[in-house]
A and B are shown apart, each in its own frame.
Chain A
Amino acid sequence: MSTSSAARWQSSASRLLASAAVAALAGFLCAPPADRPALAQSAAAQKQTCATCHVGVATSYSHAPMRHAMDLPGANPVLETHPSLTTQIGQYSYSVQTKDGKSTYSVTDGADTMTLPIRWIFGIHSQTWVLEKDGHLYESYVSYFPRDNGLGITPGDTRITPTNLTEAMGRKISTWETLQCFTCHASGAVSGVKLTLDTLRPGLDCERCHIGSEQHMTDAQHDNFSTLPKSLKKMTSEDVSNFCGQCHRTWDTVMRNHWKGPAFVRFQPYRLESSKCFIGTDPRISCLACHNPHEQLKHDAAFYDAKCLACHSETKPAASAAATMYKACPVAKANCTSCHMPKVELPGGHAPFTDHWIRITHPGDPYPG
């Protein structure tokens, strides 16, 4: 074997090993909860998971934001790479310490100190922690914000002025809010009106969107493919908005709750449906036209140009041969989102948020909605 062929073999072997490792990881991430402890045992590792057949999408999804809507300490890169976070807010000092895969959250007023383990990490960029004290769950009063590379007051909590150490530690979360939070950030955490933390799986697993996938997996092992989960690819743009809006909030939800102002810019389906160009029958304008939920989010504005040009172009792209075309932008043909989907500063969010209300903007225009 020549040096180069040996190198190629080694490279191929590395790729195979790497693929196997990723597939195993993906399999673990997509495994039903009962399978997880068993994966440590070689015999049980033979069990089927979604990744057994759908290795590509399962591997890709293992890195997707929704998969990490919630993490546990020890599995979160932000805390691992920021082992000591501190800040001072008013008379209270905060400290988040991470060591050996465990993270603690402390607050002190100089005289007394409260230290609690971080139970759950909510969010993939900015992150807020959920703490438990005396049987109640609390949203941490401070969160981590990547733009500041440090701690700040949790969005929505700036209106709170803590009057004691517990209030300074965090905001007690109501039962209904808890159920909603855990429904959208975790899998298997809610059963009826009960929070079922013993069956909680952090992040959203396959079953969360593909209802029936676990049954399908069981049946498929017996060559029964008659119980396939409902195909989500066949949904109209309107249906996709409503589907994603289960967590990202639908236009209906925002209307029914009379929500107004930039705090709700983060509810993308509602914003998208407010766009002049949105219509429920055109697949070129839907959540899935631009985003693949099984992949990492694309942050490059140029990536989205083709999505806009699918409708707004003087020449029809081949894929749009039968579809109606709309007026092309007279200003530019690239980086469409930089003008037509302006960044909006989320109040208290320490981050700009892309407004999905696609529109022609003018300097000084007020925030619509």
Chain B
Amino acid sequence: MSFALISEAVTRGIPSSNQRLQRRRVPIAAGSLAALLLAAGVIAQQPPQFDDLARQAAAARDHGDLPQAIALYNQAEQLKPDWTEGWFYLGLLQYSTNAYPAAIDAFNHLLQLQHGAPPALALRGLCEFETAAYDDALRDLEEAVKEGAANQPRNEQIIRYHLAQLLTRASRFQDAQEQYQFFAAAHLDDADLQVGLGLAGLRVPLLSKDTPSSNRPLYQAAGAAGFSLLAGDTQEADTQFRQLFTRFPSAKGLHFFYGFLLFPHSPELAIDQFRAEVSLAPENLEAHAMLAFTLMIDGRYAEAEPEAQHVLAVTPDMELAQLALGRSLAETGDIQHATEVLNAILKRDPDNLEAHMGLATIYTRTGNREEALREHQLCRSLAK
């Protein structure tokens, strides 16, 4: 099945809660798709009655008579339940008419016949989102993106928007921010997207539509500042964040959000923000862990160590703090303790690059040339 053509169809049929992503009901190029599928052997010769129904269904669809098209596709599928093209259009048309449970049923049939077909996964995921089956929607949309469903520029917006929302709801905030990066790079942002990024940035596991109206201004303003930074306008972002700090002086998570965005580019600046966050919210162990890890990355090992110790005293299993502690101890001379901490990480996670880098440091700092060489080789293979 041609993904390009299918995704073209998907693009035309998928609605959105976003103004830019509005539904456009455009007749679908059924003829060319059918020809392609026929050429690919997907459509076999059918009994006349089936052929008639299929033709009539396509004609009804092309004329925008969606109820009639849906009825005809249903009839055709009763005659030939392994007709993949029929299930796809049946699902797509039902999705277009907001008949989400029926659409999910059609895509279920299609996915039983064509396991993992990205367009069907993406559409089923969007239907599941609308029926509030959020865990299923997240699973399907993630899989669809992994399989290339977002490779078509026009599909990408709607798929990534919903995926970002679902990732936030699932408390996978960093993954959600990566989805919003796409919109920032394309200089796409509006109120919904800003609220979405604000929620992810402030670590609030909610969908935008479920956000209490009283908190929307904070999330939207935080998201707007985040979009400025993700789009590369650092000065504007800095101004917006500083205004936010003044406007919402007791809001927790704002400094963490800014620090998290700064971290890949400037650990030094990120540290200032994480410090401000833990000052405002001393109970925020994630902020303490990020502070410890960032201090370690920035080579400020003596400062990283107590921060990591603070986190591990409460949550001994937090790996980020363990990595910060292990490397910091290695760099500040407590080789035995550092080795224990790093080896404990590797026992659970043998391919942890950062832990191996810590061990490499230990060996090179203690003059153990053979082990240093071995760890360096291991790191290079892990970093491929």
Contacts and interface: CB of A to CB of B under 8 A. Distances in A.
Contacts of A278: 364, 372
B367 A279 contact: yes
Nearest to A368: B380
Contact of B365 (A175, A236, A255): A236
Contact of A281 (B237, B265, B367, B380): B367
A273 B269 CA distance: 28
B269 A279 contact: no
B365 A280 contact: yes
Interface in B330-384: 353-354, 357, 361, 364-367, 369, 372-373, 376, 379-380, 383-384
Given A238-B364, A242-B299, A255 B238 contact: no
Nearest to B382: A255
A362 interface: no
A81 B299 CA distance: 43
Nearest to A192: B269
A356 B366 CA distance: 22
B153 interface: no
B22 interface: no
B52 interface: no
Interface stretch (B65-73, B129-137, B227-235): B227-235
A238 B380 contact: no
A258 B384 contact: yes
A282 B234 contact: no
Contact of B380 (A242, A274, A279): A274
B384 A280 contact: no
Contacts of B315: none
A176 B232 contact: yes
Interface string B23-55: 000000000000000000000000000000000
Given A193-B269, A238-B361, A238-B364, A260 B384 contact: yes
Contacts of B369: 276, 279
Contacts of B376: 251, 273-274
Given A176-B265, A238-B364, A242-B299, A193 B234 contact: yes
A194 B239 CA distance: 11
A252 interface: yes
B205 to A, nearest CB: 29
Contacts of A194: 234-235, 238
Interface residues of A, number: 26
B279 interface: no
A369 B353 CA distance: 16
B98 interface: no
Interface in A316-369: 369
Nearest to A277: B369
Interface in A142-166: none
Given A238-B365, A280-B365, A193 B235 contact: yes
Q: Give the interface SS of chain B, mostly helix, strand, loop or mixed.
A: helix
B366 to A, nearest CB: 7
Given A174-B232, A175-B234, A193-B234, A281 B299 contact: no
A190 to B, nearest CB: 9
B367 A255 contact: no
B364 A175 contact: no
A261 to B, nearest CB: 11
A278 B299 CA distance: 20
B364 A193 contact: no
A297 to B, nearest CB: 26
A179 B268 CA distance: 13
Given A176-B265, A279-B367, A192 B384 contact: no
Nearest to A255: B383
B266 interface: yes
A175 B262 CA distance: 12
A260 B266 CA distance: 22
Interface in B229-250: 232-235, 237-238
Given A174-B232, A281-B366, A281-B367, A193 B238 contact: yes
Contacts of A254: 383
A252 B354 CA distance: 9
A273 B369 CA distance: 11
Nearest to B262: A193
Interface in A243-266: 251-252, 254-256, 258, 260
A174 B353 CA distance: 29
A273 B379 CA distance: 12
A255 B380 contact: yes
A174, A194, A258, A280 pick with most chain B CB within 10 angstroms: A280
Contacts of B237: 193
B353 A255 contact: yes
Interface in B248-300: 262, 265-266, 269, 299
A194 B266 CA distance: 12
A156 to B, nearest CB: 18
Interface of A: 174-176, 179, 192-194, 236, 238, 242, 251-252, 254-256, 258, 260, 273-274, 276, 278-282, 369
26 contacts: A174-B232, A175-B233, A176-B232, A176-B234, A176-B265, A192-B269, A193-B237, A193-B238, A193-B266, A236-B365, A242-B299, A252-B357, A255-B357, A255-B380, A255-B383, A256-B354, A260-B384, A273-B364, A279-B364, A279-B367, A279-B372, A280-B367, A281-B364, A281-B366, A282-B367, A369-B380
Given A175-B235, A179-B265, A280-B361, 20 more contacts: A175-B232, A176-B232, A176-B234, A192-B238, A193-B237, A194-B234, A194-B235, A236-B365, A251-B376, A255-B380, A256-B353, A256-B354, A256-B383, A258-B383, A260-B383, A260-B384, A273-B376, A278-B364, A281-B364, A281-B367
The 10 A-B pairs at the shortest CB distance, nearest first, are namely A280-B364, A193-B234, A281-B367, A175-B232, A176-B265, A255-B383, A175-B234, A258-B383, A280-B365, A174-B232
